[in-house]
Amino acid sequence: MNEQEEKKETVILVGCQLPHVTDEHFDHSMDELASLTKTADGTVLTRITQKRNRADAATYIGKGKVDELKALCEELEADLVIFNDELSPSQLKSLATAIEAKIIDRTQLILDIFAKRAKTREGKLQIELAQLQYALPRLSGQGINLSRQGGGIGTRGPGETKLETDRRHIRNRIHEINVQLSTVIRHRSRYRERRKKNGVLQAALVGYTNAGKSTWFNKLTSSDSYEEDLLFATLDPMTRKMALPSGYSVLLSDTVGFIQDLPTTLIAAFRSTLEEVKEADLIIHVIDSSNEDYAGHEQTVLGLLKELEADDIPVLTAYNKRDETFPDFIPTAGEGHIMISARIAGDEAKLKAEIEAYLRRELMTAYEVHVPAAEGKLMSRIKSETMIDGLYFNEENERYEVSGYVQEEQSILGELKKFM
């Protein structure tokens, strides 16, 4: 690693509080911006905030604040200024003229983190697409930032080529990526169709970024999905088999974390990644109950699920980190919720039992059959395709007495009816 990569960039955060934003929401939003900066390997030096009736059309914050920010950048020798909102191309240009430090906004910061985290080809393509769509209208104001080689927050991905010289190149690249992504989406939908045909139930873990989804994904599936106490630790979706207490297996998907004010370019770019959520039979909504703004996080996720047209899928709400919950915590989900912690022994079994009970209640129908011993092939299918509750071999009449649960649309139900 060279010295430039080892040195963390020093950052000043800038926020503008408008009348419709409460003090509490604004503070949480600024804290989140600081967490995002840490995730992008930046060191926050200080924050500048301002209350205004509306954002300044030319510079986002008022002229006096721009002068204050300029003096502060020189005094603290800050490398970077990050604004807690999406700046328009003209605002970006005006601020870049007034202040010598590099300037980026919340959207560019999130895109940068995504670029750093993407591992799969699909993830990298989607990030590049979102970055190019973001960069296209902002080329004139960002000439220096975009063309300079090297690292730094906000310069990963397409920022390393001289984008400002060739808008046509960007448009062609956007078209190429869209063609490649449509192939990936077709492949993914064929895979999903095959899964549906085989009658495999699917659950998806969703939640605000850093709520603990990947930790639970690993525990429930004995997997090794990347987990860390950083925002957007997981970016590429993973699907693994999860065995429930009865021995019945379902597929469990881990998804990218949701966040308030998620850039619209990212929602569009990640729509195919989040298709896993739309196709799920059950959504497990993981909420960090130790976070002061847990209710706000919950509403953000539910709002994004609605935007993805996935708000009609049954939801099991799991309040995570119950060992760190503050005393006056009140679950907002009403019925259909569970309190868990990855650190408490027995909570894994408790969550699996709750998932199994939920599937039985909402998506399956009970059966009871007496299968002759000669029907070995059917018995094998019963074990793999249904959720067995009780299994007993009656030696007198040489029949298996089986009870359990099965999905109504599964083909095996017709076979079972012969022996009911």
Binding residues for GTP: 207-214, 232-236, 254-257, 320-323, 341-343
Residues 6+ apart with CB under 8 A from 289: 319, 320, 321, 322, 324, 325, 329, 331, 339
Binding-site residues from annotation: 207-214, 232-236, 254-257, 320-323, 341-343
Q: What b-and-e string marks burial along 254-273, b requiring 16 or more CB atoms within 10 Å of the CB? A: bbbbbbbebbebbeebbebb
Which of 358, 357, 185, 344 has the alpha carbon at shortest distance from 279?
185
Contact yes or no for 62/18 (Cβ under 8 A): no
Contact yes or no for 384/378 (Cβ under 8 A): no
Q: CA 116 to CA 154: how far, in whole Å?
A: 10
Residue located via tokens 């930046």: 42
Contact yes or no for 410/365 (Cβ under 8 A): no
Binding-site residues from annotation for Mg(2+): 214, 234
CA angle in degrees (0–180, nearest 5) for 9-10-15: 120
CA angle in degrees (0–180, nearest 5) for 155-161-166: 120
